[in-house]
Amino acid sequence: MITVQQAEKLILENSCDYGNEIVLFDQALGRVLAEQIKADRDLPPFNRVTMDGIAVKYEAVANGIKNFKIKATQAAGDVPVEVDADDECIEIMTGAALPYSVDTVIRYEDIEIQNGTATLINNGISKGQNLHLKGSDKQQGEVILNPGQLITPQVISLGASVGETELRVKRIPRVVILSSGDELVEVSDVPSPYQIRRSNSYMLQAILSQHGITGAIRHIPDDEAIIKQQLGLCLQHYDVMLLSGGISMGKFDYIPQALKDLRVEQVFHKVQQRPGKPFWFGKHENGAVVFAFPGNPVASFMCTHRYFVPWLNASLGLQPRQPMYAILAHDFKFEPALEYYLQVKLHYNKEGQLMAMPLAGNGSGDFANLAETDAFLELPLDKTEFKKGEVYKTWPFNA
């Protein structure tokens, strides 16, 4: 067996670049930007008013003028109206372009308006107040977005503001999810007392969906010839295979041999961890990668978040996230010499510290317990007793 750290290194060494594609900007949410975007004009493109009120010359206020005749009212999007005298002002709205003949905006709260005249009722006016100056955010030609950025609603807004109707993004891999085993039946079926429904496939599909991937689902019976045939077809049509089950040492676990026969190179098999010790990873000569997870639900769930998601992010060019750490809220003991992924509930204490409350459950088959938790706490294999107050890396899977 190899360590978790060795497994992670080998998997990331086999990340793949699937190229780029063009998508409409309003359909790019969750994708990864693959081009540099520059401002097509200054941001903001004019001196923008940030408060409703009046626009005046600050020099007039400094000279003691308190009453200003309202020359015009200007809304956002209107052509700016200029003043001709120091005691004139423009009644102006948030978002409007500031006229060149004025330089300061005074809020409605600081004036009274009667018979077309605005009178100052508060002192403390500062020159240039309540303005968002032209080019203060970005100047024309300046880079505003870089390759490798995850496209969020904010990124879409920024791209739209500079006229980018299409965005070049990283192409996502084609992924198929394969379950195996005659004990598994469809979700809509009524299982016999010795069967279970195929929930793992839909769990993995849901995780993929969270990362912008529509994963195909297939099920393979415990038949050696069919397994080899189906795996061969998937290797031709998909970039990634996620398998759940059929990779242990059982008499009907045909998948490792079938993958070997299909010239999928085994990178490793078995990791010093719980859950997920039988995890198998390999790569085909055509570039397709295979993540073969144990069939236990918690093991498949953990391995997908711990290994597949970081591989996906690396393949898409996303910068690795800073590790998260949490404080163990209660003592915990685990004796096997394996790295243990403890199910925990997260919360912040009054000091703002992230606390991890253990919820051990009943092992890697206890998916019901997993539904109540927020993350896995990564407990190193060189210890058996873990004390309250100790800090460990955490792998959150709930927002």
Domains of the chain from N-terminus onward: 4-18+173-315 (3.40.980.10), 20-43+143-170 (3.90.105.10), 48-132 (2.170.190.11), 324-396 (2.40.340.10)
Question: Quick one: tokens of 36?
Answer: 């540099």
| Omega prior to 44 cis, within 30 of 0 | yes
Q: pLDDT 10s digit of each residue in the chain, 399 long? A: 999 999 999 999 999 999 999 999 999 999 999 999 999 999 999 999 999 999 999 999 999 999 999 999 999 999 999 999 999 999 999 999 999 999 999 999 999 999 999 999 988 999 999 999 999 999 999 999 999 999 999 999 999 999 999 999 999 999 999 988 766 767 777 778 887 777 789 899 999 999 999 999 998 888 889 999 999 999 999 999 999 887 765 555 788 889 999 999 999 999 999 999 999 999 999 999 999 998 888 999 999 999 999 999 999 999 888 899 999 999 999 999 999 999 999 999 999 999 999 986 655 556 778 888 999 999 999 999 999 999 999 999 976
CA dist., res. 110 & res. 125, Å (int): 9
CA distance 111 to 114: 10
Beta bridge partners of 281: 268, 291
Strand pairing report for 264-269 and 280-284: antiparallel
Angle formed at CA 101 by CA 96 and CA 103, multiple of 5 degrees: 65
pLDDT score for 186: 75
Number of Cβ within 10 Å of residue 331's Cβ equals 12
Q: Taking Cα atoms as reference points, which of 335, 378, 342, 338 lies closest to residue 357?
A: 342
Q: How many residues does the chain have?
A: 399
The pLDDT, as a whole number, for residue 249 is 57
Q: What is the pLDDT of residue 347?
A: 96
Which tokens is 91 given?
């009644």
What gap in Å lies between CA 384 and CA 274, rounded to an integer? Answer: 13
Which pLDDT does position 267 carry in this prediction?
A: 97
Q: Tokens 């955010």 identify what position?
A: 137
How many other CB atoms sit within 10 Å of the CB of residue 297? 21
What lies within 8 Å, CB to CB, of 141 at 6+ separation is 38, 39
DSSP codes of every residue in 46-100: S-EE-SSEEEE-HHHHHTT--EEEEEEEE-TTSPP---SSTTEEEEE-TTPBPPT
pLDDT of residue 50: 98
Q: Where are the alpha helices (DSSP H) in 147-293?
A: 153-161, 199-210, 224-237, 255-261
Report pLDDT for 327: 98
Q: What is the pLDDT of residue 185?
A: 65
**Residue 183, number of CB atoms within 10 A of its CB:** 15
What does pTM read for this prediction?
0.87
